[in-house]
Amino acid sequence: MAISTKRILCVDDDEDDRMFLSQAISDVNPNVQVVEAVNGMDAIKYLDEVKQGGQHLPCLIVLDINMPLLDGKKTLERIKKDPRLKSIPVVVFTNSRNPSDMQLFKNYGVDMVSKPDNLVYLNKIATELLSYCETSDFSDLTD
């Protein structure tokens, strides 16, 4: 039986943030594939393609808040409304300290992780993010 590769969907309009996070995840666990999306519209399109193609869903979605076309809040709302996606863990990876943002994500049961000011802490954050993939199995599509 083939072992499926776990995937993390990283949604952020900042190319450097995506690159640094992808590299940190790869450093911690090179067996986890990071799929990148530059905004919420690209993320929803990717997730729709995965569902329609019968591919493996990501084990985690890492989502920025401030993005063009479809921001993180609206992207999260669309993910949580979809019966096939709503159980995928989502972590908001942001610089925001806005109390209303914190409350919104808390209401959805979503954790917020602050983007580090220093790359030294990024591997620690990557390790924490990977723990979401270890404790859940969202690799198979279910009806």
Most confident of 37-41, 62-66, 94-98, 107-111: 37-41
* Per-residue pLDDT at 135: 63
Start-to-end CA distance of the chain, whole Å, equals 22
Question: pTM here?
Answer: 0.85
* Per-residue pLDDT at 4: 58
Q: Is the pLDDT of residue 138 over 50?
A: no
Q: Is the pLDDT of residue 120 over 80?
A: no
Q: Is the pLDDT of residue 139 over 50?
A: no
Q: What is the pLDDT of residues 126-137, one digit of tens each?
A: 888 888 787 655
* Per-residue pLDDT at 122: 81
Which residue did the predictor score with more confidence, 138 or 94? 94
Residue ranges and CATH numbers for the domains of the chain are 7-134 (3.40.50.2300)
* Exposed/middle/buried for residue 1 (C-beta within 10 Å: 0-12, 13-18, 19+): exposed
Q: What is the pLDDT of residues 10-51, one digit of tens each?
A: 999 999 889 989 998 898 888 889 999 999 999 999 999 998
